[in-house]
Amino acid sequence: MQGRAYFTDIQNGFQEWLQRLGYAAATIRHHHKSIALFFQLVQNKGIIKLEDITGEEILEYQDYLEQQPIATQTLQARLGSLRLFDQYLEAYGHATIITVKLKVIPSFETPKTILTQQEIKQLYEVTDNSKLGYKDRAMLAIYYGCGLRAREGLNLQLSDVDFRSGLLQIGKTKTRIPRYVPMSPAVIEDIKDYLNSARPQLLKAKSNTVLVHSKGQYKEAAGFGKRLKQLTELAGIEKQITLHSLRHSIATHLLENGMELEQIRRFLGHQSLEVTQRYTHIMYENT
């Protein structure tokens, strides 16, 4: 009975954490049910506290799920709850319980190509102090440093950049409320350098767009993608990446560095935490 009450208290703490983060009620019920199932299985083995859970119990739980008549997505959602529970433990300074690598079923989600933090550093290192180099760093600042979507970066206007507040304004229309993306000091420096030193030399026509060619605004973001490919080749990176890979990469790196999911959700402009939570799967795939 003591073990059951102990695990019930932990489940309730996990549920309260999810509520504070803003998860939908149905999603919280799913995670609560999944963790309750896991705790029931470990208690059946006579385990009465978290510290006694080993990699063996984690793998047995995974094997148990694989033997059940459930869909692949349901199986992965159950494992996702366990990963999220690990984040909860880590957030409050407790030892995590996942000490083995869990399986990730390829069909669960379209694979995303993620650059490591070292590979991002390599991209920056192959840029130079020419006007093209300043533009390269501004592109990386916008798509990696600020995590913008391809079209968001394409349409970014000079009036959207506020160096005083350190924010980019994204998505303002007559019918849509904008979101505000914070710029780090390094991002501010790279964008300022480009606007002051390179953009005036590159632009031969009038334009209010941040990233421009000689005739003004790009019609498509494909030109940025092509340049990114050239930079990856110069950096000796063999991965096939896109502009969206930079967005996936910054999200994963922020998660690795301890940022809360809710903060990452706001940073990326996701409508729900469920979308942002997918990055927990990506992070575990790459560990």
Q: What are 107-116's pLDDT values in tens digits?
A: 444 557 889 9
Residue 286 has a pLDDT of 54
Residue 107 has a pLDDT of 43
CATH class name, domain 2-108: mainly alpha
- Residues carrying CATH 1.10.443.10, the chain: 117-268
Which of 205, 237, 270, 232 shows the shortest CA–CA distance to 139?
Answer: 232
pTM above 0.75, yes or no: no
Q: Which helix (H) or strand (E) holds 168?
A: strand 167-170
Residue 270 has a pLDDT of 79
Q: Which helix (H) or strand (E) holds 171?
A: none
Residue 172 has a pLDDT of 67
Evaluate if residue 273 carries a pLDDT over 90.
no
Evaluate if residue 274 carries a pLDDT over 70.
no
- DSSP string across 173-237: -SS---EEEE--HHHHHHHHHIIIIIHHHH--S---BSSEETTEE-SSTHHHHHHHHHHHHHTT-
Mean pLDDT of all residues belonging to the chain:
87
- Residues carrying CATH 1.10.150.130, the chain: 2-108
Residues catalogued as catalytic: 149, 172, 244, 247, 270, 279
CATH homologous superfamily, domain 117-268: Intergrase catalytic core (1.10.443.10)
Beta carbons of 64 and 37 less than 8 angstroms apart: no
Q: What are 217-243's pLDDT values in tens digits?
A: 998 899 999 999 999 999 999 998 999
Residue 4 has a pLDDT of 75
For residue 264 the two structure tokens come to: 């990452």
